[in-house]
Amino acid sequence: MSDFSKLKRTNKADNLAKLRAQTEALDSKQQYKDERYWMPVTDKADNGSAIIRFLPGVFVAGTDDQEESFVRKWYHSFQNLSNKMWYIENNLNTLNNAKDPVTDYNSKLWKTEDLVLRKQVSRQKRKLAYISNIYVIKHPGRPEDEGKVFLYQYGQKIFDKIKEKLFPPEDEPDLESVDVFDFEVGANFRLRIKKVEGFRNYDSSSFDNPKSLADADEMAAIFDQQYSLRAEVAPDKFKSYADLKKRLDEVLGIDTETGEVREEVERPAQSERKLATATRTTIKVTETEEDPPFDVEDATSQKETVAVKSTATGKAATDSDFFAKLKVSRQKATS
């Protein structure tokens, strides 16, 4: 049988469904690449390495107001396992803890106490990311990145390593605080990516001993290449609540008018869940004002919401205690 004969025998409806799903995935994953953002290159085993330097915040144009050395934002990246559609959007909680449709919807699902729905909440929970300016010193996977400044979005594991250098353990008084964002007394960061149990692991990453990044002229040139971090978490980087809810309803198959969603789900045994539900379930979601945003680690635990500060003009969400300590450490270093 020729390949063309095989083609004629294929199910056209199935082909159309596959094509729609593939196109939807491309659209929803936002294939546009922002060249300002740096991504480390990994090999086929998902291992990689680089040496980078975290940079201090820029000054607001025409002022003496220096931006923070990092900003943080909440975002979502999850897939509806039934229709394979993706929801990849910034979470409005970043903006002074504004209400966000996914946070609100997750809160309603969690309150049903249905373990299947709580598992869905775990898949849909918001994620925390940090953004900094970096200077790429060495990048074997893509040498053309070296000597350039980029924005870098990273997670909690790398941020914890930054905090470890800024705030050494109190039981180790011989360790001095290092402002890793400083040009002159900061430290290079050796990024090591390894695939561990199916996930990227950064445990082997570490900071070198403090040293100057470059001479004065080179540092000035590097500083001038940096980007505004506050602009990355300004209101114009976020869609409206209505637009986000429309997209969420589309991805999850929620009827916008009734707030109901119907889909086939696999249910655990009756004894393994608190609420009895049928194989085909209907979820009615109503909005209330008292539901706080939260993050669920799994079906039995709830993570405390991290307090952030921001302004209506879009100032970066930051950890006030962190920056208070950082300011003190910098004052001591220069005194």
Q: Find out whether 228 and 242 touch, Cβ atoms under 8 Å.
A: no
Following CA atoms 117, 122, 123, 127 in sequence, which dihedral angle do they give, to the nearest 10 degrees? Answer: 150
Mean pLDDT of 158-174: 88
Kindly report, residue by residue over 299-326, the tens digit of the pLDDT: 233 333 232 223 333 334 444 555 555 5
pTM above 0.85, yes or no: no
Kindly report, residue by residue over 141-161, the tens digit of the pLDDT: 999 999 999 999 999 999 999
> Between residues 63 and 9, which one has the greater pLDDT?
63
Joined together, the tokens standing for residue 182 give 């400083």
Among 10-24, 53-67, 244-258, where is mean pLDDT lowest?
Answer: 10-24
pLDDT for position 137:
98
Among 9-18, 220-229, 312-321, where is mean pLDDT lowest?
Answer: 312-321
Among 213-217, 248-252, 266-270, 285-289, where is mean pLDDT lowest?
Answer: 285-289
Q: Find out whether 109 and 19 touch, Cβ atoms under 8 Å.
A: no
- Whether 56 shows a pLDDT value over 90: the answer reads yes
| CA distance linking residue 175 with residue 183, whole number of Å | 20
- What is residue 45's three-state secondary structure? coil
| CA distance linking residue 161 with residue 157, whole number of Å | 7
- Whether 203 shows a pLDDT value over 50: the answer reads yes
Q: Which residues contact 37 (CB under 8 A, 6 or more apart)?
A: 150, 151, 152, 153
Q: 274 falls in which pLDDT band (50, 70, 90)?
A: very low
Q: What is the CA angle 6-8-13, rounded to 5?
A: 110
Q: 174 falls in which pLDDT band (50, 70, 90)?
A: confident
Residue 86's nearest CA partner among 256, 251, 263 is 251
**CATH code, residues 35-334:** 3.90.198.10
